[in-house]
């Protein structure tokens, strides 16, 4: 069983829906999960719904997966209903 051991303080993001520019704006306002940002002091929890609606679903997903690979103990990704195969197909991302 995989345990999600995130600890406070935690930054929580949800419903990005493929809007890469909004994600970057969030990181500009509240700092990014990187060495020059605040990854040492915060865990990051992303609540799903990364794709669809916005024009850059692939870029959002690639960035979040890259962050997860780089910071596996501080980045947590949950799957939302938009990451379901049927919803992706219906909304044009699959």
Sorted by where each starts, the structural domains of the chain and their CATH numbers stand as 10-91 (3.60.21.10)
| Closest-CA residue to 42 (of 52, 55, 56, 32) | 32
Active-site residue flag, 21: no
| Closest-CA residue to 16 (of 6, 7, 27, 5) | 27
Report pTM.
0.81
**DSSP 3-state of 87:** helix
- Please tell me the predicted confidence (pLDDT) of residue 3: 62
Residues 6+ apart with CB under 8 A from 84: none
Residue pointed to by tokens 């959002």: 60
- 32-91: pLDDT as tens digits: 999 888 999 999 999 878 777 778 988 988 999 999 999 999 999 987 665 666 655 655
| Residue 94 token pair | 């699959």
Provide the residue count of the chain.
94
Q: Which one is catalytic: 22, 82, 83, 88?
A: 82
């Amino acid at each position: 069983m995989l345990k999600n051991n995130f600890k406070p303080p935690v930054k929580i993001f949800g419903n990005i829906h493929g809007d890469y520019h909004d994600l970057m704006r969030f990181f500009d306002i509240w700092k990014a999960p990187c060495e020059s940002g605040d990854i040492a002091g915060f865990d990051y929890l992303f609540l799903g719904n990364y794709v669809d609606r916005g024009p850059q679903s692939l870029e959002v997903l690639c960035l979040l997966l890259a962050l997860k690979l780089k910071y596996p103990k501080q980045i947590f990704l949950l799957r939302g209903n938009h990451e379901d195969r049927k919803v992706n197909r219906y909304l044009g991302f699959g």
